[in-house]
Amino acid sequence: MKRRDFIAGLGVGAVATGLSGCKAEESLTQNNTSNSTQVFNWTMVTTWPPNFPVLGTGAAELAKNIEKMSNGRIKIKIYAAGELVPALEAFDAVSRGTADMAHSGAYYWKGKNPATQFFGALPFGMNAQETNGWMYYGGGLEIWQDIYAPFNIIPFPAGSTGTQMGGWFNKEINSVADLKGLKMRIPGLGGEVLSRAGGTPVNIPGGEIFNALQLGQIDACEWVGPYNDKAFGFHKAAKYYYSPGWHEPNATLEAIFNKESFNALPDDLKSIIELACQAMNMNMLSEYVTKNHQALQDLKSEGEVQFRSFPDEVLAVLKEKSIEVVDELVASNKDVARAYESYKKFQDGVKEWHKISEEQFYSSR
């Protein structure tokens, strides 16, 4: 049985009893007294272009799975970036109830609270496997939900890119001096780090990046990895493709829900949403692992792209600046301090384990 069909076809009982960490029996008991025929018509907005591979289609799959798993009791109409609200206004739309939910990235909302960035990507931080451990079993999700609570929003992890690429450049980066004055599309903490290294970060939605790069409005950009980058055609606007993605060793995507909309659901539907988000988190990462390596071979076979690795000198400076940025944020904001204390404690612990497991295995392989 195909995995997607299996998940989509789960009955409410199977969902409730299979959801790790939820009070399944209590949910079912409470649901027995709820109106099991009530239909909730929801609106979802996203920060992604319409039908954009993996990110946009993942949001659509999430909505479809929620509808199927709820037996049609939750119906979700999706609006891509710009169709109902601009891409970078999705957070506000959910907060004020214009939309019931959104699919996006937490690092876009640093202007709301700088701590949000820790739930998207942290430069030189944890990878997807480690981040998921922190979220689900290390207290990360609880802190994330506390930080979003004042905005009337409930977040859940709902997608993961894995380790990203370092980006597309219209010139080679041979030293730190080459970062001086570089205008690069790069959001979140990575953008602040680039600024400290002499560059100029630009935060624009994905759908606007290609034109900005092609017209010379920016000198470089980062997006995700070979699959999404190739779909946007970045290889036609810049020829140097750098790794590693120091700024996003993993990018966790989020599904955020208006608090009133979510709390109006009976407990069994809340459980279905939580499990659907968790399934999407796993599925998106699996899809990226598969499609990135296929797209990488295509880019190599075409022969136009020149693959480069950032020099050790450049990475060392970027790491130094990353530590500076985080330390300053921790000192200035109690939410950042709380999130980082939890994040760093988990990272330090899992790093010791992965040093003798994952890292040694990769080296031997």
Q: State the CB neighbour count (10 A cutoff) for residue 361.
A: 10
Residue among 251, 231, 287, 289 nearest 50 (CA): 231
DSSP class of 207: G
Measuring CA to CA, which residue among 156, 27, 9 is closest to residue 70? 9
pLDDT at 35: 61
Task: Please report the pLDDT score of residue 36 as a whole number.
Answer: 74
In tens digits, what is the pLDDT along the chain, a chain of 365 residues?
344 444 444 444 343 333 434 433 344 334 444 567 899 999 999 999 888 899 999 999 999 999 999 999 999 999 999 999 999 999 999 999 999 999 999 989 999 999 999 999 999 999 999 999 999 999 999 999 999 999 999 999 999 999 999 999 999 999 999 999 999 999 889 999 999 999 999 988 888 999 999 999 999 999 999 999 999 999 999 999 999 999 999 999 999 999 999 999 999 999 999 999 999 999 999 999 999 999 999 999 988 999 999 999 999 999 999 999 999 999 999 999 999 999 999 999 999 999 999 999 999 99
- DSSP assignment of 55-122 equals HHHHHHHHHHHHHHHTTTSEEEEEE-TTTSS-GGGHHHHHHHTSSSEEEEEGGGGTTT-GGGGGGT--
In the prediction, which pLDDT does 107 show?
A: 87
Q: How many CA atoms lie within 13 A of 299 on its CB side?
A: 26
Q: Who contacts 4 (Cβ-Cβ below 8 Å, separation ≥6)? A: 61, 65, 283
What pLDDT sits at residue 303? 85
pLDDT at site 363: 95
Q: What is the pLDDT of residue 11?
A: 43
In sequence order, what DSSP letters do the residues of 299-339 get, joined into one string? Answer: HHHH---EEEE--HHHHHHHHHHHHHHHHHHHHH-HHHHHH
A 10 A CB-CB count for 95 gives 20
Q: Name the phi and psi angles at 249, rounded to 5.
A: -65, -15
Residue at token pair 């597309």: 168
User: What does the block give as tokens for 87?
Assistant: 């891409």
- Which 8-state DSSP code applies to residue 85? S
Q: Quote the pLDDT of residue 172.
A: 97
Q: Torsions phi, psi of 318, nearest 5? A: -65, -35
96 alpha-carbon distance from chain centroid: 22
